[in-house]
Chains A and B, each alone.
Chain A
Amino acid sequence: MNYSAIIAKLRQYPVAFVCSIILLLLLVVVFLRSGVSDELALREADLNSRIRTIDENIKNSKDLKQHTEKLTALVEQIDGNGVLFKRYERAININFFYSLESEAGIVISNIAQLPAPDPIYSGDGPRKLDRYSTLVYNINLTGSFTGLLKFLHALVRVDPLIRVADFNLSREDDGVRGTGMEARLRVLVLAKKE
Chain B
Amino acid sequence: MSRSRKNIQPNWRPNFVKTSELPDIKVVRTDFIINFVVIVLMLTLGFYVLQHEYRFYVLDKTIAVMEQRIQIAEPEDTMSLKLSREFTDAAEHIAEVEKFYAAPFQVQDLLIQLTQLRPEQLIFKQISVVESLAKEEAAQVVSYRINVTGEVISLTVLDEFKGALAALDLFNYAGYTLDIDETLQGRDAESGIFPYTLQITLKPVKPAPAA
Contacts and interface: CB of A to CB of B under 8 A. Distances in A.
Nearest to B93: A75
Q: How large is the interface on A (under 10, 10 to 19, 20 to 34, 35 or more residues)?
A: 35 or more
A41 B48 CA distance: 18
Tell me the dominant secondary structure on chain A's binding face.
Answer: helix
Contact of B86 (A51, A72, A132): A72
Nearest to A5: B20
B4 interface: no
18 contacts: A15-B38, A30-B52, A40-B59, A47-B67, A54-B70, A58-B76, A61-B83, A68-B83, A74-B94, A75-B94, A119-B133, A129-B100, A131-B93, A163-B106, A166-B130, A168-B128, A169-B127, A169-B128
Interface of B: 20, 31, 34-35, 38-39, 41-42, 45-46, 48-49, 52-53, 55-56, 59-60, 62-63, 66-67, 69-70, 73-74, 76-77, 80-81, 83-84, 86-87, 90-94, 96-97, 99-103, 106-108, 111-112, 115, 125-131, 133, 139-142
Given A57-B84, A60-B84, 17 more contacts: A8-B20, A13-B31, A15-B38, A30-B48, A33-B56, A40-B59, A51-B73, A58-B77, A64-B83, A65-B83, A68-B87, A131-B93, A132-B100, A149-B108, A164-B106, A169-B126, A169-B128
Interface of A: 8, 12-13, 15-16, 19-20, 22-23, 26-27, 29-30, 33, 36-37, 40-41, 43-44, 47-48, 50-51, 54, 57-58, 60-61, 64-65, 67-68, 71-72, 74-75, 78-79, 119-121, 124-127, 129-132, 134, 145, 148-149, 152-153, 156, 161, 163-171, 188, 190
